[in-house]
Amino acid sequence: MRRDAEMATTRLLDVMDKLRAECPWDREQTFDSLRNNTIEETYELADAITDKNMEGIKEELGDLLLHVVFYSKLGEEQEAFNYTDVANAVCDKLIYRHPHVYGDIHADTPEQVKQNWEALKLRKKKRKSGTLGGVPVSLPAMVKAFRIGEKAAATGFDWEHKEDVWAKVKEELMEVDAELEAKDKEKLTDEMGDMFFALINACRLYGIDPEGALERTNKKFIRRFEHLEHRAEEQGKSLHDMTLEEMDSYWNEAKEIEKQ
């Protein structure tokens, strides 16, 4: 298995060299031109994982691996770094951040591992921006909020008991209600954000991926809405021709079908 992996890696590096030398499209790519493609590939991998599509996961992992190799080739051409440097750097990082495996530090739970990980990251990089400085600015807001909560919690800044987070959620909901009464859109936007942030922290404390949870709901809504449209078409109607009561009836029908 290890030998096969080495041969496959060498083959991929050789293919990248040839494409970079002979393909007009590959030749003109830069770090900046590939950036959006990399983000898109990451989301495609996320979709495959959500769908539990193993064939899709394999394919999208290959696409992401290609991007790693491509960036490494660009770095090599600029005499900044190469693929070997990238691989060795991540190995060094993993060894450094797993002292409970490679050293004499003890970590018996995943939570202890995460706390050690964040502490070591901060010590190694000595970021002037502090604990939250390593959260990428361009992360989607929901993912960013989750990571902010994780990093803050790793310092001990967290609820003592996970159940306590619900008091915060209820507090934020009450503040949203107050701003709804006041009809101040700017303040309402702030309070909505605070409520989302509290809910995302609740997900973190209960081991739920908020992005994955919301995507499951998105897909559930799409399934039910498509059923509603299909039932309308069977009657020769559009949704605009139907009453809300009729649409609710077919919506509930879709929910019952899912239970079967």
For residue 260 the two structure tokens come to 């079967």
Closest CA to 155 of 121, 191, 119, 125: 119
Contact 195, 169 (CB under 8 A): yes
Give tens-digit pLDDT for 69-80: 999 999 999 999
pLDDT at 125: 60
Q: Is residue 26 over pLDDT 60?
A: yes
pLDDT at 126: 54
Q: How confident is the model at residue 64 (pLDDT cuts 50, 70, 90)?
A: very high
Contact 239, 247 (CB under 8 A): yes
- Between 247 and 105, name the one with better pLDDT: 247
Q: How many helices (H) and strands (E) does the chain have?
A: 12, 0
Q: Is residue 244 over pLDDT 70?
A: yes
Give tens-digit pLDDT for 189-241: 999 999 999 999 999 999 999 988 998 899 999 999 999 999 989 988 888 88
Residues in the chain: 260
On whether the pTM is more than 0.75, the answer is: no
Give CA–CA dist 92/49, Å, rounded.
28
Q: Is residue 128 over pLDDT 70?
A: no
Locate all alpha helices (DSSP H) within 97-209, ordered by sequence.
99-102, 110-125, 141-154, 165-182, 185-205
Q: Is residue 145 over pLDDT 90?
A: yes
CATH class entry, domain 2-96: mainly alpha
Query: In this prediction, what percent of the chain has a pLDDT beyond 70?
Result: 96
Give CA–CA dist 207/227, Å, rounded.
32
Q: What is the mean pLDDT of residues 101-129?
A: 71
Closest CA to 228 of 216, 240, 213, 214: 240
Give tens-digit pLDDT for 78-103: 999 999 999 999 999 899 888 888 87
Give the number of other CB atoms < 10 A from CB of residue 15.
Answer: 12
For residue 238 the two structure tokens come to 């559009």
Q: Is residue 66 over pLDDT 80?
A: yes
Annotated domain spans of the chain: 2-96, 212-259
pLDDT at 129: 66
Q: How confident is the model at residue 47 (pLDDT cuts 50, 70, 90)?
A: confident
pLDDT at 127: 53
Give CA–CA dist 208/206, Å, rounded.
6
